[in-house]
Chain A
């Protein structure tokens, strides 16, 4: 448990800017973000609506290219990768969870959770088996074969977490994972996420509005108008 004592940066953003559009109609959404995200930690990004949290997350995930500045993820400069290499980098190293869950409606819970393995070429039986084991740990044993439309929001988000973690990524990224859930379910889901995702060689970034989940973060970075305003850090016990 001394990863907090000698933290290494999993993600390191230096002077990152992001501009949408060109010329007069352009908007500068990120205005020089500096942020380090560490292995073995959960970093929360909070801030007002429109302050650029989602944009920052997209840049850190390699879904958007920064306009300027350097984006180092897991020791790799994302700008140095070709678009195809970026996709393969994400496939191998990143896990995602979204506010709207974004599960594939035609796939069962197990199949949805198995998608990153399938995309990486793992055979179907093996992938679905591994997905079922992870769903067990998320308390979803009885829902393996349910379609997303038959699952509650909390259950869907648990499947989405399984999908984000199934391939044991080094970086997990979640945008407002609890804001479509009621507060009790949100708490439960966050507890599961923090306990299951914790690993000394994994960093987790969660964007949230929800101050009731602040206690799950090792570090809380507050954004305001396109920059990181301040960062607070505190120790938590990741497996509550």
Chain B
């Protein structure tokens, strides 16, 4: 009877296509919005994830998230280094400066100051120039998006002079980094240079980056640092989540995306549910005839669930394919660079869509199961 169920479904072409469209639309909306949401949230942690040499982040206990670190006094670095299990620890500066080009163009820039000797926290990919050249006097490396903003339409070129805080700097390299949440330009320089470019404060060190001794887990050593120094110490993953939660709680982003996702669910539920329900109700006479002929309720149940799974599966496939296509086409554009579909989004969308369709079919199923087969004799 699976064959009969299938034909009943596709035989009613307008409703069949309507169902697939509704479910495809809902799947697309849900998966696309979830993907953008996750990608944006992951962006808030991209600069944490870009630093792969160090696995522990140490910061002032009052620090709430990555983009707003309360500076630490320099002596805290030595306290961290003394904690047993810490292999090494280096300072990281993160501040905002205004960069001016030789042509008078100027932009705000997020400047990272890296430990002078180890350069821990350096950008992962150099497009032009060498990382080692950061040790040259006044050297700065900037990211490619920033370069394009500062020198629109010009080819990559190193050795250009810039100015920050009335101090001369030289671009010695152009790098590629993961896109951050804010649209600021990003630059890298030595720690000692950074203080000059941004201006000295009483406390300057944004973070201490540390690595545990071999064989010790970052979580355990982070716990020890916390106990010994009173500072907050987190492994990179925990710090990433702390930052994501901050953005979730303190921005309208989750509400905004949540609303769209809920709209997707409601539209899917109402349209798909209603269409499927009407589809079954209009076929009630047919189901009645089948019942009279001797098709059991169990078989009817299987038939309706099969119909439901077919539309759910096709609609879902179309929806997530459209979403994948969208992400593939946009992941290289500057505004949406690095957007991805986490696998969890596929699972989440599938669960939502199949629940919607299951719910809709259960509502109509009830009608079929209680149906009196004697109605087939009535006009």
Contact = CB atoms under 8 A, between A and B. Distances in A.
Contacts of B288: 102
Interface of B: 1, 3-4, 7-12, 285-286, 288-297, 299, 372-374, 376-379
Interface of A: 54, 57-58, 61, 63-64, 84, 87-92, 94, 96, 98-100, 102, 104-107, 111, 115-116, 118-120, 124, 163, 175
Contact of A57 (B3, B10, B377): B377
A115 B3 contact: no
Give 8 closest A-B pairs by Cβ, nearest first.
A106-B11, A91-B294, A102-B289, A90-B294, A63-B374, A58-B374, A106-B7, A54-B377
Given A63-B374, A92-B294, A104-B289, 14 more contacts: A87-B294, A87-B297, A88-B294, A88-B296, A89-B294, A91-B294, A98-B377, A102-B288, A105-B11, A105-B286, A107-B4, A115-B4, A115-B293, A120-B294
Nearest to A92: B294
A114 to B, nearest CB: 9
Nearest to B6: A106
Nearest to A107: B7
A63 B181 CA distance: 67
B227 to A, nearest CB: 68
- Listed residue (B285, B291, B297, B373) with the most chain A CB atoms within 10 angstroms of its CB: B373
30 contacts: A54-B377, A54-B378, A57-B377, A58-B377, A63-B372, A63-B374, A63-B377, A64-B374, A84-B297, A87-B294, A88-B294, A90-B293, A91-B295, A94-B294, A98-B289, A100-B379, A102-B285, A104-B286, A104-B289, A106-B7, A106-B8, A106-B9, A106-B10, A107-B4, A111-B4, A119-B1, A119-B293, A124-B3, A163-B293, A175-B377
A118 B374 contact: no
Contact of A102 (B4, B7, B8, B286): B286
B148 to A, nearest CB: 58
A119 B376 contact: no
A109 to B, nearest CB: 13
A119 B295 contact: yes
A58 B376 CA distance: 10
Contacts of A163: 293
Contact of A84 (B10, B285, B296, B373): B296
Contacts of A99: 377, 379
A118 B1 contact: yes
A115 B303 CA distance: 14
Contacts of A119: 1, 290, 293-295, 299
Contacts of B9: 106
A96 to B, nearest CB: 6
Contacts of B376: 63, 96, 98, 102
A115 B2 CA distance: 11
- Listed residue (A63, A106, A107) with the most chain B CB atoms within 10 angstroms of its CB: A106
Contacts of B1: 118-119
Contacts of A84: 296-297
A82 B316 CA distance: 41
Nearest to A160: B289
A92 B296 CA distance: 12
B12 A106 contact: yes
A87 B7 contact: no
B291 to A, nearest CB: 7
Contacts of A115: 4, 290, 293
Nearest to A63: B374
Contacts of A96: 289, 292-293, 376
Nearest to B3: A124
A1 to B, nearest CB: 31
Given A102-B286, A102-B376, A105-B11, A116 B4 contact: no
Nearest to B289: A102
Contacts of B12: 106
Contacts of B372: 63-64
A120 B296 CA distance: 10
B342 to A, nearest CB: 40
Contacts of B10: 106
